Structure 1
Amino acid sequence: MPGDLGRRDAFRVSGSRTYGIFSADYTLSYTYKNTNVTNQATTYDNLLNTPSFIPLSQLKDWKNNKFANINGYFNDYYDNPYWTIGNVRYKTRDNALSGNMHLQLKPTSWLNFSYRLALTNLNRKYENTNADKTYSNYSQANTHLYFSNYDGTGVVLDSSQGTKYNAAHGGQASYYMYNFSNFLITQDLLATVDHSLNKDFNLKVTVGTTYIDNQINNTYINAGSLFFPVYNVNNLTGSAGLGGTNNTTTQSNYTEEARRLGYFGEATVGYRNWAFLHGSYRTDIDSRLSKDNRYIPYYDGDASVVISDMIPSIANGKIVNFIKLRGAHSLTGNVSALASGSPYIADGAYKTVGSLVGVNGIAVGAAGYNGNSVGFPYNGLGGFQLNTTIANPNIKPEKVTENEIGLEMGFLQNRISLVSAIYESKLKDGIVYATIPNSSGFTQALVNAANTRNRGIEAEIKATLLKTANLTWNLGVNYTYNESKVISINGGQKSLGLGTNGNQNTNAYAVLGQPFPVIEAYDWVRDSATGKVIVDATSGNPSRDPNLKVMGQATPKHILGFTTTVIYKNWTFSATADYRTGYKILNQIGSSMDFSGNGWTTALTGRQRFVFPNSVVMQGGSMSTTRISRPATPTSTFGPACITLSMPTT
């Protein structure tokens, strides 16, 4: 992005030493990172809502070009992208320190003890500055609007649309910042036995324990409106907020901590190095769960046979020289959904959100909060509100049971290899944030609800197409097919909302019998027999169906990937590409571009009046196609592009 700056400096020291049966090594690193970037989402949105014929490259100088500043810019609703780049900035400074120590004791050739300690500490200071947007008196009072006439032959002056929209929604400069720290400690203690029992059998056993402690602290100050653009919390028109901004609830003041202690063991028995039997078991104790549910189980059993080693003649074959069969069964416990995808377990710990009620009656951090908090506490009286997410002390680990059978083969002395597998996995008690009616006083609840099944195949072919003394060319192709299905939803429900981003037309759902998850959205009212859109017999306008419809699954059913690597002497060049299909994605850009007249739909009929394509009307209790007349004067328009959707019927 133009104007974005970034710097990263890293320092690392390491060492190792061996004393007979004892060895030790360590690594210590420090990383400094400093970035200064703009709001990429807003800049991108402003750009997309700018017609392609606007010479944006001539509008970079928003300080001196009267057509580039906030007063003279042509768009009533969207700012000049270059103004946003210059005036909305996000500055981040990270100081990260990490250390790793590994101690190892090997009293015999077949017995080994090891201890590993890893520490990571990240300190971050984050600042957001938004420049003053005070419009001139002319911009706030002028009502002149010019646009092309319906025939595209001239320009029309319209003074009935009011003043420049943005001019009535300006604001003072604002500032907010937070200080964030994340401390993570991980310890592992292992004992490993790797011993040949006799000339045919080998045994490898590992037992151990692991411990994780994660602490996160966040201190957030929202300065709201400033007297003038000196960006600090002392230059306020009101009191500093204790968390949140005008348009986000993701920041507040909090301290989180979570711990996890695990015990595990695994064993592998090998026979003549061509048959292997492996099993493992692990239990984690997670502080984020209640006392009755905090034990998370894992177990695995698998076996493999290298047929080409069992039958030496195959290994010496000219065409097929490697064959391996494998099978596995496992159960995995998981609570990562508590952290909503974060790699840090403390993010899954229960915490309260900002509950101080602002002067305008809106909680600090909630949408619409104005940055001031002088309403409460008032004269010693505190104001509080409930967290809108229902906490669940009885949440249990979700469990995934998986079965897999695989085949590996090598051809032409392993210049061509094949790895393939078929699998089935079942999820029980999936953890989701389920949407609930606002009438309950809450918006979502943390529940064990989803029970799903996944079936699929995976295959990968790799080949060395060219190999000389100095040049090697490898090519790989992989394919994955995955079919998912919601088997049941706890509580006997047939559909469960998985959260919303605030737009009424976008939802992810778990629906009984459907893939998991699916996208549900609103559609036009359609004729059940033909699927055609029903339009009003008088206006010709379609209407929205009040019920959400399943639009498709949200995860790919087919993934086709390609990899290639060229190695020339000490140089390596690689490329990767993949193609995904069999699913739908949510794209919210359409409504914005239609609003500005930049969407492809606004030019389907040359920006002239049109009849909704392939639609039907209700006549005499049945659906029929009706001829539509084109009067000289349109009866309804859509958006600033003045596209007429429909005309009276004849």
Structure 2
Amino acid sequence: MKINFKHPHFYFRKGLLMNIMRTFIFLFCTTLFALTPENVLSQQSKIEVKENKKMSIDEVFDLIMDQTDYKFFYEEGIFKGLPLVTLKKGTIKTNDLLKQSLANANIDIVIGKNNTVIIKEKPKSVVSVLQKVKITGTVTDFAGIPIPGANVTEKGTKNSTQTDFNGKFVIEVANNNAILEFSYIGMVSQEKPASSVVVNVQLKENTTELDNIVVTALGIKREKKALGYASQEVKGTDLTAGIASGNFLNDLSGKAAGVYIRKNTNFGGSTNVISRGVKSLTGNNQMLIVIDGIPINNSTVNSSTASQGARNTYDYGNAAMDINPDDIESINVLKGAAASALYGWQAGNGVIMISTKKGKATKGMGITISSEFSVGSVDKKTFPVYQNKYGQGYGPSYDAAGNPKGVPVGPTGAFFTIDKNGNQVVTTTDDASYGVAFDPNLSVYTWESYSPYSSKYGQKSPWQAAKNGPISFFQTATTFNNSVSLEDANDKTNFILNYNNFKETGILPNSELKKNNASIKLNHKFTDKLSTSVFANYMTQSTIGRNSSGYTGDNITGWFRQWWGTNADLKSQKEVFENSGGQNISWLMGDPANGNTAPKTMDNPYFTRYKNYQSDERNRFIGYGQLDYKFTDWLSASGKASIDSYSELREERKATGSINGSFGLSRANVPSGYQKYVGSFSEQNYQFILTFNKKIGDDFSVNALAGVNTLRTKSNSTLASTDGGLIIPDIFALSNSVNPSPFPLETENNSAVNSSYASVSLGYKDFLYLEGTVRNDAFSTLPKGNNSLNTFSTSASYVFTNHVKADWLSFGKLRASYAENPQGNIDLYSLNDVYDKSNPFGSNQIYSIPNRSNNPDLRPVKTTSQELGLEMQFLRKRVGFDVSVYKSLSNDQIFPVDYSTATGNSSRYVNAGSVENKGIEVQFNVTPIQTKDFNWDIFVNWSKNENTLVSLASGIETLSIGGFQGIGIVAKVGHPYGDIVGKDYVYAADGQKVTENGLYVMTTTTNNVIGNITPDWIGGLRNKFTYKQVSFGFLIDVQHGGDLYSLDQAYGQHTGLYESTAGYNELGNPIRNTLANGGGLILPGVNKDGTPNTTRTPRPEVAGSIYGYKANPESAYIYDASYVKLREVSLGYTFPSQFVSKMKLTDLRVSLIGSNLWIISKNLPDADPESGVSAGNLSSGYSGGSLPSTRNIGFNLTLKF
């Protein structure tokens, strides 16, 4: 073991978290650089320091002799007058301890037989006072921040001093030939000649002497080498390397092996975080989020997890987006069940452990100001490229005799509508682009011709593609992220106060998200035994104009991608909206040639964004108070009380003048309406832990804890809406309902969980560790007498470098673990039957029995898991890897099965079935170049998970998980989770597609497996370069495999939007020409008799006759979801300390940053493979109507005073 030598400035720069106080004058900052030989004693020998203390050199020798076989012989009083040695709790190499203790001693060391060490005082030299030279200077860290308490020693003498608060020192040396030695805890010591009267030194981090301390379950800090399970740390500085995204979970993507971050392109949308595969078929698979040891709520509200009302059409994000990344010191990802076992039922999916920042010592009040501004533009690779050859229309229509119902214009046979004056009018009723071929020599009446608010009113226009297509609808996104922090510390107290203001405007008009976040963290030491820690965080968030998601009328991008006229100009749509004072004048008119100019099936996009908008607000408080009492140096107690509470308001509006559409609780087609959701959530945690840490003899150590926890959760909500429309236009209130408002949907949940747990870790000679944990959770929601669930784990760690002697091998460890844990709680309303309340019939109230029966005997899913791991570091940790292999089996899945209808129910929830996950995770690091001025670090994360549904209930082979427009997502026995099912082509024996009458034949069944949503593997590659004050880094994020269904392609090809529908055939003619004009295709395939298809497709001029969902099965629109993305780029410059000092600052940094700048590779056309409806189990596998991705570039300025 090695002692954790870290000082406050080092923490601030590198993001490591330790519980020590600020160095104050000369207390707590004495550390001395040895004048003795480099390796007097065995390099493998180490000493354990049980607590922070100061010791005399004699006491240090006693400590070494107690824990080793060495014996020291020296003359009594030889060390008289030398300063005490400051030691920190932890372990330190015996050589390093000896070196530190004797730094100021003028002695010789002789190693005798049988581990004897003889120490003699060197002969004293006589130096004339007249020869002494006065040297001054400043000691700073690599960032130029002054280091108080650094040791400055004249080499070979006892002459030494320490730097003051400003890092300045004054020392008198024998002459200009003297050598000065500079040292500080956690820094690389340096020697400088006293050849000048001013000597300035910059100390660098000594990473080779710092053991890796990580934060584990319950916020307990452990040496990573003692852990028998996988964990991975992400520094706060690495987390915020890119542009602020508004959700810190997005910033984890590609930075932790085995963690699948599934985000989407929704404005303010939710993010899915899964570790080591899906374990619950119908339950929550997201990782638990913990702040300073306290679990917090991360609920997701989106259309995939709810079925009506405010939860039907918008992705309201997840609660984790309330967390301010600027508060995060570090994140430790606990991926295995053994790692998270102390959290029991809450953490079966793994844990994201967040450690918040603490105050650090500065001269006066430390102030940090950070300001970031970025702009974003649509990534055109994620938006359709429209064909520009044909305009609005579905092609010609024909009567029963096959004659066109109009006068054909051009070789496609398509025609315009003719008004009463014989003028040609664009078919404004058609939401497709299979119309007449563009010809600017043709002049026609368009929708603008019939709107008095258009500059083209009453005029004909050239028949051509729109100059301002849908991509012009999107605006430049902006993000402002400003924060300020105040911090200070002394020997008893430290605090940090943070405030952050975040404002983002999206690429859609009238979209804005604002967040304000204020937090304070205070640590205070009352006595050497009693201390406290307090954390309080208050957050507000308000959003207006989230994009509607899924297949809904208000999803504008759905129209853009699926149902659109290529001649429709968005600039004209904006013009009439503004000139009319906000009226709904659409390009898709009913029948303007005959006087009907009302919107037919689509509202004006600007009307939708500015009139039919939603808004939401959330206010949240997270806080805790903790008391710690130290009975002895090996026994302590901790009590903590915490709360996580928030309230929400969500409003949705449908303005008067809108097209009739489904809205409100009744989901009726109405022309206007208003809907309101009010909810609150509160979770209180009370925790008490007794901790035992003791060295037993020379060989054994025990780290143990026992604790109890009580959790109380309350939530309630009310959802109400108008019915039949609004009485007074644009008055959005429940009282403004045409019909009596439906009874509101009200919910209330109260639950409690009482828990007890214990953990014991045994260490042997610093190389072998065995650990076991056990936890019991008792639930108020489960039946009495059968409401208790157990979690247990065991793990082992063997540090084999203690027995393998090789200069090239820096560290090596084998680890293994086993765990059994419940997988989450059970929803309260899945256990007991309740009545469904319907609207009254007259004066009679109506209640009904649900079709699905609940089951009071349900138990949570139970997972057993095993893990093996190997960690190795080489060449002074310049090369290393960490590999984990794991396997888990999750039994007692919860899902409904068919039930006797005689009971009044059609199905009933049961426990049955098993899901297996097995995989491998790899972390790799290498430093190819490391010089004084230049450093290059590479970090690789890679993981592969194989998921298999082992079984379901007896007689059941397939379970429906959910569905989207056109497809279903199922779990099928023997298959990975997330099979995509739908219609497929019919294939001949040789694999060719079967045709009939020139068109492909499709299956009549819809349960064909046509894809799977699970990726084959995921990975991330980070590069970091530093050259003097310049830093550069980038992150590449990769997903390989997984499939998705594109509704955009299925519908957009049907309506003729995409370039692929307007090409040429093998004859060199436009495919859309009629057969008589050489159009159509001969599709590759065979007839039912096996002969090659030679029949040309009939009616190629009609929309959907060749392309799209009517002529092809869903399998035609399954795409590989793989991608390679340049996720983050940063270029930074830290100004030199001399310049910074002149500016009266302690640090000054500027950075150019970018996010999502380049999709290097993808297979999905015209969209981002990560786009989806929302988070949750159905967050992947479907792409339809999603926003395009945004490429962001910005600038950051950080000042420290």
| TM-score when normalising by structure 1 | 0.79
Partner Cα distance (2:773, 2:559) in 1: 54
Q: Which residue of 2 aligns with 1:486?
A: 949
* Contact 1:60–1:68 under 8 Å retained in 2: no
**Paired letter, 1:507:** G
Q: In the alignment, which residue of structure 2 is the partner of 1:56?
A: 570
Higher relative contact order (CA 8 A, sep 6+): 2
- Contact 1:133–1:170 (Cα < 8 Å) also in 2: no
* Amino acid of the structure 1 residue aligned with 2:757: F
- Amino acid across the alignment from 2:741: A
Paired residue for 1:166?
Answer: none
Distance 2:652 2:835 in 1: 21
Q: Which residue of 2 aligns with 1:535?
A: 995
- Tell me which residue corresponds to 2:1178: none
The residue number in structure 2 matching 1:264 is: 757
Residue pair 2:831, 2:857 contacting (<8 A) in 1 also: no
The structure number with the bigger radius of gyration is: 2
Per-residue CA distance 1:52-79 (angstroms, 9 max, x = gap): 6644245334424589964341475333
Find the aligned partners of 2:885 and 2:628 in 1 and give their Cα distance.
Answer: 39
* 1:48–1:593 CA contact under 8 A, matched in 2: yes
1:288 aligns with 2:781: yes
State the secondary structure of the residue aligned to 1:523. coil
Residue equivalent to 1:449: 912
Of residues 79, 87, 109, the one that matches 2:603 is 79
SS of residue paired to 1:614 = coil
CA contact (8 A) 1:15 1:26 kept: yes
Whether the aligned pair in 2 keeps the contact of 1:176 and 1:223 (CA below 8 Å) is yes
* 1:226 positional shift: 0.4
Provide the secondary structure at the position in 1 that maps to 2:1044: coil
SS for the counterpart of 1:585 is strand
Task: Measure, in 1, the Cα distance between the counterparts of 2:1024 and 2:830.
Answer: 40
Question: Are 1:417 and 2:924 an aligned pair?
Answer: no
Per the alignment, in what secondary structure is the counterpart of residue 1061 of structure 2?
helix
Q: Distance in 1 between matches of 2:1027 and 2:560?
A: 43
- Provide the residue aligned with 1:387 in structure 2: 850
Q: Does 1:520 align with 2:981?
A: yes
Matched, 1:587 2:1086: no
Say whether 1:234 aligns with 2:701: no
- Richer in strand (by share): 1
User: What does 1:122-521 align with in structure 2 at a 5 Å threshold?
Assistant: 122-133=646-657, 171-224=670-723, 225-227=725-727, 228-243=729-744, 252-291=745-784, 293-311=786-804, 313-314=805-806, 317=807, 319-336=808-825, 338=826, 355-357=837-839, 376-379=840-843, 381-432=844-895, 445-468=908-931, 472-501=935-964, 503=965, 505-521=966-982
TM-fit CA distance, 1:427: 1.6
Shift of 1:85: 1.0
Q: Tell me which residue corresponds to 2:556.
A: 43
Tell me how far apart the structure 2 counterparts of residues 292 and 384 of structure 1 sit (CA, whole Å). Answer: 32
**Residues 1:435 and 1:408: Cα distance change in structure 2 (over 3 Å):** farther
Query: Once the 2 structures are TM-superposed, how far is the Cα of residue 82 of structure 1 from its aligned partner?
Result: 2.3
Alpha-carbon spacing, 1:640–1:540, altered in 2? closer, same or farther (3 Å): closer
* Residue pair 2:1024, 2:1033 contacting (<8 A) in 1 also: yes
2:1091 aligned to 594, 610, 624, which one?
624
1:110 paired residue among 634, 639, 643: 634
The 3-state SS of whatever aligns with 2:913 is strand
Gaps spanning 5+ residues in structure 2: where?
1-507, 550-554, 590-599, 661-667, 1065-1069, 1073-1078, 1113-1201
Matched-pair contact (CA < 8 Å) for 2:655–2:672: yes
Distance 1:458 1:592, change over 3 A: same
- TM-score by length of structure 2 reads 0.44
Deviation at 1:561, TM superposition (A): 1.8
Mapped partners of 1:434, 1:406: distance in 2:
40
Cα distance, 1:467–1:67 mapped onto 2, change above 3 Å: farther
Q: Deviations over 1:336-373 (max 9, x none)?
A: 5x46xxxxxx798868586223xxxxxxxxxxxxxxxx
Letter in 2 for 1:36: I
Could you tell me whether the CA contact under 8 Å between 2:835 and 2:847 is conserved in 1?
no
**Structure 1: gaps of 5 or more residues:** 137-168, 244-251, 340-345, 358-375
Query: Judging changes above 3 Å, is the alpha-carbon distance between structure 1 residues 405 and 97 closer, same or farther for their aligned structure 2 residues?
Result: closer
| Partner Cα distance (2:689, 2:730) in 1 | 57
Give, in whole Å, the separation in 2 of the partners of 1:506 and 1:644.
Answer: 14
Q: CA deviation at 1:533?
A: 3.1
Secondary structure of the 2:638 match is: strand
Equivalent residue pairs, number:
568
CA distance in 2, matches of 1:468, 1:84: 59
The answer to whether the 8 Å contact 1:404/1:421 transfers is yes
Residue pair 1:597, 1:639 contacting (<8 A) in 2 also:
no
> Residues 7 and 471 from structure 1, CA distance in 2 versus in 1: closer, same or farther, beyond 3 angstroms?
farther
Distance 1:171 1:260, change over 3 A: same
Contact kept, 8 Å, 2:832 with 2:855, in 1: the verdict is no
User: In structure 1, what is the Cα distance between the partners aligned to 2:995 and 2:544?
Assistant: 51
C-alpha offsets along residues 397-442 of structure 1, whole Å, 9 cap, x if unaligned? Answer: 2121111111111111101110112222112112346699999976
**Structure 1 pair 575–356 and aligned structure 2 pair: CA distance change class (3 A):** farther
**Counterpart residue number, 1:368:** none
For 1:32 and 1:62, the matched residues in 2 are separated by 37
- What secondary structure, in the 3-state scheme, does the structure 2 residue paired with 1:556 have? coil
Q: Deviations over 1:306-332 (max 9, x none)?
A: 111233x23xx1x33221111111112
Cα separation, 1, equivalents of 2:584 and 2:816: 65
Identity between Structure 1 and Structure 2 (%) = 20
Letter in 2 for 1:214: T
Q: 1:572-611 residue pairs with structure 2 within 5 A?
A: 575-599=1034-1058, 602-603=1061-1062, 606-608=1070-1072, 609-611=1079-1081
Q: 1:500–1:508: 8 Å Cα contact kept in structure 2?
A: yes
Name whichever of 561-570 and 192-201 sits farther off: 561-570
CA distance in structure 1 between the partners assigned to 2:888 and 2:1041 by the alignment = 20
User: Is residue 5 of structure 1 aligned with residue 515 of structure 2?
Assistant: no
- Tell me the distance in 1 between the aligned counterparts of 2:769 and 2:786: 35
Q: CA deviation at 1:385?
A: 3.0
CA displacement, residues 201-220 of structure 1 (integer Å, 9 cap, x when unaligned): 00111111122111111012
The answer (yes or no) to whether the contact 2:1063–2:1071 under 8 Å persists in 1 is: yes
Partner of 2:433: none
Q: 1:207 to 1:295 in 2, by over 3 A?
A: same
1:141-200 residue CA offsets vs partner (Å, 9 max, x unmatched): xxxxxxxxxxxxxxxxxxxxxxxxxxxx98532111121110110121111100001111
Distance 1:176 1:417 in 2: 56
Displacement of 1:499 in angstroms is 3.2
User: Is contact 2:1081–2:1097 with CA below 8 Å preserved after alignment?
Assistant: no
1:221 Cα deviation from its structure 2 partner? 1.3
Cα distance in structure 2, aligned partners of 1:485 and 1:181? 38
Retained in 1: the 8 A contact 2:1071–2:1100?
no
Work out whether residues 410 and 418 of structure 1, in 8 Å CA contact, stay in contact via their aligned partners in 2: yes
C-alpha distance in 2 between matches for 1:570 and 1:298: 50
Q: Where does residue 560 of structure 1 map in the other structure? A: 1019
Partner SS, residue 847 of structure 2: coil
Distance 2:833 2:617 in 1: 25
In structure 2, C-alpha distance between the alignment counterparts of 1:404 and 1:320, rounded to whole Å: 24
